[in-house]
Copies of this chain bind each other. A is one copy, B any other.
Amino acid sequence: MIKVAIMGYGTVGAGVYKVLTGNRGEITRRLQGEEIEVAHVLDLRDFPGDPAEAVLTHDFQDILNDPEVAIVVETMGGLRPAYGFTKQLLEAGKCVCTSNKELVAEHGLELRRVAHASGVNYLFEASCGGGIPVIHVLDGALTADYIDEVSGILNGTTNYILSQMTAQGQDFNEALKEAQAMGYAELHPEADIEGHDAQRKIAILSTLAYGKYINYKNVYTEGISCIDSVDIAFAKAVGRKIKLIARSRRTAEGTFAMVAPMMIGRENLLYNVDGVLNAVQLHGNAVGNVTLFGSGAGSLPTASAVAGDVISCARSLHEPIPSDWSDQEMDLLESEEMPCAFFVRFRGSESEARELFADAELTRIPETDEIGITTGIMTEKSLMDVRSGTGHIVKAIRLG
């Protein structure tokens, strides 16, 4: 019998309780007969009549001081008090499994060090891409590859909004309101809309892929609130969709990482990721592209990932599960140096457009008298140079 505690009985925490108790038979088989028991659930609230009521506590000390608790699930979210609780638990020799991407992005480096010093594990599969097992794939499977790119749609809220704008012709504010009404966007949606959620996730995944710590604050990030219906119409006209892409890439010149809306072509599997679905694409020098699709959020998919980490901890209670990144921080190149093609909205003449962008393809749509310019591969820096020489560039969106 392995005793588990759950901290935070919200959407994800309640899902973890449900998975660990509801799938008991399957889990016991996975642990060759060993059983998992949820011994404590920590929350400030009461849950009268809830199945977890019998094990509910309001006092963190009940978990910290229970010597039988070997694994703790942290689904509280936010930095405080999650950070202090997690650190104390790891120091006390308990494994911690979390879905808390803020905490992992902010203090993951330290918490992992504390865990390994205590001979236990700090696991966070659920922090990136909900139910998509991308961390297992990076840490456990693609270990013989030199991974040189991580690219994905890592935020369901923004993908839902962009999908609605594309499919229903809604403008950004309409689509955001609908997403809020459907429960896909929060009342204060800035963390999603402005890309900060995806920024944390791509920092975590890139750290695991490249083996050096990437500070999320250094990842260049744009949100989607600037995307309008003319952008969407232009994207359709050139056979593309606009998606909020989180991407990092190791090149001979160095490593880039960014979050930005990009126009994705049909040949890219990410083109097919609509609604609240998430996807991650990994590129290795041997395996080529591996793409994983799944639910990026939601109670049970996220809980599945947390509970999977609980099983992993239970299988190796007092030995660190390999995770081979160093504490050394990786320098990132300026995003404006990253080579990519752009889609430029241009309010000028065709001849000027052709003069400014050699080999560009021009597109006209009925919705506007602007010209759409699909450029060749260039850098944002060189695009800015062009921009400073003309007053006619309205905006530019990367092709991805």
Q: Which residues of A contact B (CB under 8 A)?
A: 15, 18-20, 22-23, 26-27, 29-32, 125, 131-133, 136-137, 140-146, 211, 269, 272, 284-295, 298, 300-301, 303-305, 307-308, 310-312, 315, 322, 324
Contacts and interface: CB of A to CB of B under 8 A. Distances in A.
Given A288-B131, A300-B287, A305-B287, A144 B293 contact: no
Contacts of A290: 131-133, 292-294
- Residue among A29, A144, A146, A303 with the highest chain B CB neighbour number at 10 A: A144
Contacts of A310: 144
15 contacts: A27-B143, A133-B137, A133-B142, A136-B137, A136-B141, A140-B140, A142-B308, A143-B308, A144-B307, A286-B300, A287-B295, A287-B304, A288-B300, A288-B301, A290-B294
Contacts of A146: 23, 26
- Residue among A22, A146, A290, A310 with the highest chain B CB neighbour number at 10 A: A290
A121 to B, nearest CB: 13
A323 to B, nearest CB: 10
Copy number in the complex reads 2
A308 B141 contact: yes
Given A291-B293, A294-B290, A23 B145 contact: yes
B143 A125 contact: no
A304 B19 CA distance: 33
A113 to B, nearest CB: 14
Contacts of A289: 293-295
A144 B23 CA distance: 7
B141 A133 contact: yes
Contacts of A31: 324
